[in-house]
Amino acid sequence: MYTIVTGAAGFIGSNVVKALNERGAARIVAVDDLKRAEKFRNLVDCEIADFLDKEDFLARLSSGRFDGAVDAVLHQGACSDTMETDGRYMMENNYRYSLTLLDWCQARKVPFLYASSAAVYGAGRRFREERACEAPLNVYGYSKFLFDQIVRRRLPEASAPIAGFRYFNVYGPREAHKGRMASVAFHHYRQFCAEGKVKLFAGCDGYADGEQKRDFVHVGDVARVNLFFLDHPEKSGIFNVGAGRAQSFNELAAANVNACRALRGQPPETLEALQRQGFIEYIPFPEALKGKYQSFTQADLSKLREAGYDAPFASVEEGVAQYVPWLKDHVQNT
């Protein structure tokens, strides 16, 4: 039997593949679109049974080639560019593709775990897995929102487990290929290496400079949540996956600068000291993001905890301290 991971060469998908490997699983069919070929690097240290292009994979599914041969589908594949304006592409890639896989899994009683997004909440201040809290600001968020509605309607009569994960601001290893859509933690590291300082947005939405807050979650924690639900097929639903705490961009920047200083054998500094010394700089808030920006997110983890997932999530300080040494060893700074 095979475990299928879609988006396997991407950020979260490749971390899920690596986590499966680390517990001895190697019969993995990795599915992705390698039009951006540099993503292959994310799988170089992973063990897989086969790699399939997305279109080839869909053709094999429809022909019955995988019938009776799959124990689970972990669907991480999606266009995650929140600035994408081609709505037809977004809906085909994120909504229709997901629906095809859901139908296939339900028809064959195969567990289906999939990536949703905290983008479904838009600019709201309540982050519970409830319809009243959901108001996406862009077509990416809408594509995730619409699929979640389908899942909600099907859950009461589902023939096999369905678990959706509303990822908050994920950061960590294997995201360099994402370019401008890589995490803020990644860009902070590159900025500090190139310029000796980190740039943050000036205040907006009533927040002081750099004090906008997000729920930043390490990708290692995200992978562990996926494996928990893979191991507990009796559990279904839509769940927030974040650290459960909002931390400011100032805190994230300070953690990054101090992690870089630690690599040089230098002691950590307070946020105030880093600001005073010019290690953190504030730039005007972009006009293009006004009205489309989440200035505050914080996952309500009640449903996840009720489902039995009780492992702690790394704080920004803990997660970035792990991430920066990995970046130093794996990402070229030019």
How big is the CA angle at 38 (ends 37 and 44), to the nearest 5 degrees? 105
Contacts made by residues 257-264, CB under 8 angstroms, sequence distance 24+:
257/188, 257/192, 257/198, 259/320, 259/321, 259/323, 259/324, 259/325, 260/189, 260/192, 260/193, 260/324, 262/321, 262/324, 263/324, 263/325, 263/328
Catalytic residue positions? 140, 178
Count of other CB atoms within 10 angstroms of residue 64: 9
* Residue whose C-alpha is closest to residue 1's, from 128, 140, 109: 109
> Between the CA of residue 111 and those of 10, 15, 164, 300, what are the distances in Å?
21, 19, 11, 25
Structure tokens at 161: 């487990």
Report how far residue 15's alpha carbon sits from residue 3's, in angstroms, rounded to the nearest whole number: 14
Contact 15/39 with Cβ under 8 angstroms? no
For the four alpha carbons of 166, 100, 94 and 5, in that order, the dihedral sign comes to positive
* Residue whose C-alpha is closest to residue 89's, from 140, 36, 137: 140
